[in-house]
Structure 1
């Protein structure tokens, strides 16, 4: 039997998870990992199953047929608005009927008729289709006094309870347009970290916001926003060393001698083009001038641009193995931690990791 993974997007009703497990069982599949936490995402469930290729295909077909199989990551929109209801029985029910009829999903609602504005109801919606939103707003405007507080179609202001979709859209913003199939596979890795963080009593949302901040910082310090602190030291009459301290972390050292230029550490891959322009600005020539590269260790900010240079690269065999295994903790006591492995994957993705 082979191991397969899939993401289920299930309705928030009793028995939904049982139904998915029943389908897996009906095709002699064995669930070997499952993770669900409604505190951060009430509808997304991650499965790993052992099954034969034939039975897994049939299993997926049935999950797809009932709408449980998540195969795409649509860009969700966010709408927050207030309406003023008449003070009469059934008015809130009629409003909710309008929203439900439009196929919108309520993420937040606030209503209390004892307040100074007793008829005011504030509602947030997560929606997949802007046409649905526009139609709903037109219908509400025809019946109620309406105030639109926020309307975002980029997915940047989604409610925290759609964590995985929100994170996937944030990743798209950092690395550019990405196929849904890749992101769904990537979310499986992310979910492993969520599971581990929960077991450690940490809030995954805080951790991933910090990781996203790293990705955004790298992206936002390239091109016209790139900068570096530079130190230039003469070692002899003929030999100089340049130290370039990069904005997102990591240093690049260039040792220039009359017959060659040697690089020690390369910086992040995402800074490669900016670094080359910087070298030329300081009279160090183009990348073809660099004959040898020495890598001190295998972190992305030290070797992540090595593959862009046509030069011989040297590093410790242990560092080479870390690069090959894509796990920054390889050889350490935390090597088996899924946190280290997936964190390495994410940082390498954000930093355009291209080792020698």
Structure 2
């Protein structure tokens, strides 16, 4: 059975949902999610349906036949008018009859007696056919005095009915989305709204966060892209480069004479900008041998994987399974909850993400004599890899942040890649801190299991302390976001701010 989201536009009349339900039931479809809020949009209803692929085609065709599925978005307009109506019984009826004649819905209405012979009726009129506006206003003005009121599109109550359309058209413009992508954007925005409204959040606030999320990612493209780049000589043979983009994960490059090894790759939307940086840092980029490893399978860490054609991708079995789910069009491990699903799908749409080719996967623990159990509470060693003279141990976490999470530890040089299990939040720039505050609101938590995530951080901190004692110097911590840091008195400090005896040469 396949699960599919339908964005439907239904008439505001009795039996509309019943008809849709009958069509879905006719083809053995099961409605697993439904969302409708008249205060947010008068006509739009969201459905998640499970059915066979063949029956989905039949359901879509019949819903389209009855006019419930739209292949394109129309720009619904709201006009706020002030109509001066005599303060006497039945005086409003002529206006209501005109609105009924033109099939106009009222999205906002406000009036009260003011001690004069007239009342000022402020109405928000939902106009789906802009061609009729002039005729409508002419007919009303023939009966009563009418004024058009200027208003701020997003701030007024009357706009609650068209949140989705306004947001979708805006996103389609700034992100160059296709109609299908735009409809999916609406559907996933609704999924997040539905969940957050149950906790008391308002549509205005939810859509405000979604808008900021999209604008943050999109506005740093091209000439606006600026990354912080740090360089540390780790050993005689390996130099570490940290590339910290405006938003999305860091990308680390371990460079030796023989090859370049990337760890995590950020958002796909910045592919052009990142490849430009790679070629500036490494003039022989096109001819050098390359490998890439990921700390976990979130969209903001895997964006460039599909762009690195033919390059081996090192990952564990759980991360490989999650990425294969993406490629197959079924929910991955981040998408096991509705909020996670909505946020992940929005991330994919906004960042232009495509899943990588599974043929490039090099599953690190596939032949492990002691594979990690499906569920565990400790950091478990599952594999090893080397980069020139650096020897790394791969430790799998419990899945507090994401099922399949890993950290990479080079004990000899005290170098640890911690992914999102441990990041130096205090080292974020103001803009990065603001961006990284959006996901915790839209998903309610960036972690699948916050209790497990807290325990993982504690275990990693203990590991760092042990390595520090062993090596007689602080560990170099490379988190999934933020600056390269060093552990100093039990706290992470950005490398350039830490009071260290070691210069950028780490060995």
Q: TM over 0.5: same fold?
A: yes
1:113 paired residue number: 113
Counterpart-to-counterpart distance in 2, 1:237 and 1:133: 74
Residue 267 of structure 1 aligns to a residue in which SS?
coil
| Other structure's SS at 2:99 match | helix
Displacement of 1:269 after TM fit?
A: 0.3
Give unpaired runs (5+ residues) of structure 1: none
TM-score by length of 2: 0.56
Cα offset for 1:277?
2.7
**Which residue pairs with 1:299 in the alignment?**
298
Indicate conservation of the 8 Å contact 2:78/2:127, yes or no.
Answer: yes
Q: 1:79 to 1:335 in 2, by over 3 A?
A: closer
* Cα deviation digits, residues 38-92 of structure 1 (max 9, x gap): 3444433345476996898599648844x55555432222322323345565543
Change (3 A) 1:49 1:8: farther
Corresponding position of 2:148: 147
C-alpha distance after superposition, 1:119-174 (max 9, x if no partner):
3222222322322234434555665241331386x9x9972234544554354245
Determine the C-alpha separation between the residues in 1 that align with 2:218 and 2:183. Answer: 22
Go from structure 1 to structure 2 and tell me whether the alpha carbon gap of 1:5 and 1:299 turns closer, same or farther (over 3 Å shift).
closer
CA contact (8 A) 1:104 1:125 kept: yes
2:273 alignment partner in structure 1: 274
**2:345 alignment counterpart:** 345
Specify the alignment match of 1:261 in structure 2: 260
| C-alpha distance in structure 1 between counterparts of 2:22 and 2:299, whole Å | 44
- 1:255 and 1:149 mapped to 2: Cα distance? 58
Aligned residue number for residue 252 of structure 1: 251
Matched residues in 2 for 1:46 and 1:246: separation? Answer: 35
- Between the aligned partners of 1:264 and 1:3, the Cα distance in structure 2 is 33
SS of residue in 1 equivalent to 2:286: helix
Distance 2:187 2:341 in 1: 13
Supply the distance in 1 between the matched residues of 2:312 and 2:158 (Cα, whole angstroms): 47
Question: Which of the two has higher C-alpha Rg?
Answer: 2
Q: Does the 8 Å CA contact 2:36/2:46 hold for their aligned counterparts?
A: no
Q: Which whole-Å CA distance do the structure 1 matches of 2:301 and 2:307 have between them? A: 13
Kept in 1, the 8 Å contact 2:86–2:118? The answer is: no
Query: Per-residue deviation at 1:105?
Result: 2.3
Name which of structure 1's ranges 317-326 and 131-140 shifts more when overlaid on structure 2: 131-140
Are positions 1:84 and 2:91 aligned together? no
Relative to 1, partners in 2 of residues 1:278 and 1:69: Cα closer, same or farther, differing over 3 Å?
closer
Query: Paired residue for 2:169?
Result: 169
* 8 A Cα contact 2:253 2:260, kept in partner: yes
- Tell me the secondary structure at the aligned position of residue 291 of structure 2: strand
Contact 2:81 2:146 in 1 (8 A): no
Corresponding position of 2:481:
none
Distance in 2, matches of 1:267 and 1:13, equals 47
Residue of structure 1 in register with 2:433 after alignment: none
- Provide the rounded CA distance (Å) in 2 between the counterparts of 1:238 and 1:134: 75
Q: Which deviations, in whole Å up to 9, do the C-alpha atoms of 1:172-195 show, x marking residues without a partner?
A: 245324225x55566555555555
Q: Is the 8 A contact 1:110 1:122 kept in 2?
A: yes
TM-superposed CA distance for 1:266, in Å, is 1.1
Whether 1:95 and 2:95 are equivalent positions in the alignment is yes
SS at match of 1:109: strand
Which whole-Å CA distance do the structure 2 matches of 1:350 and 1:49 have between them?
26
**Is 2:335–2:344's contact at 8 Å kept on the other side of the alignment?**
no
Contact 1:295 / 1:302 at 8 angstroms: preserved in 2? yes
SS at match of 1:293: strand
Q: 2:495 corresponds to which residue?
A: none
Looking at structure 2, the residues matched to 348 and 314 of structure 1 have their Cα atoms a distance apart, in angstroms, of: 22
Task: Say if 1:127 and 1:289 are closer, same or farther in 2 by CA, change over 3 A.
Answer: farther
The CA deviation at 1:250 is 1.1
**In 2: Cα distance, 1:259 partner to 1:4 partner:** 47
Question: What does residue 286 of structure 2 align with?
Answer: 288
Q: Distance in 2 between matches of 1:267 and 1:210?
A: 21
Could you say if the C-alpha distance between residues 29 and 71 of structure 1 is closer, same or farther in structure 2, counting changes exceeding 3 Å?
A: farther
Structure 1 residues 267-303: Cα deviation after superposition (integer angstroms, max 9, x where no partner): 10001112223344x5433752562222222112211
Moved more, 86-95 or 44-53: 44-53
Q: CA deviation at 1:222?
A: 1.3
CA contact (8 A) 2:195 2:338 kept: yes
Please give the alpha-carbon distance, in whole angstroms, between the structure 1 residues aligned to 2:269 and 2:229.
19
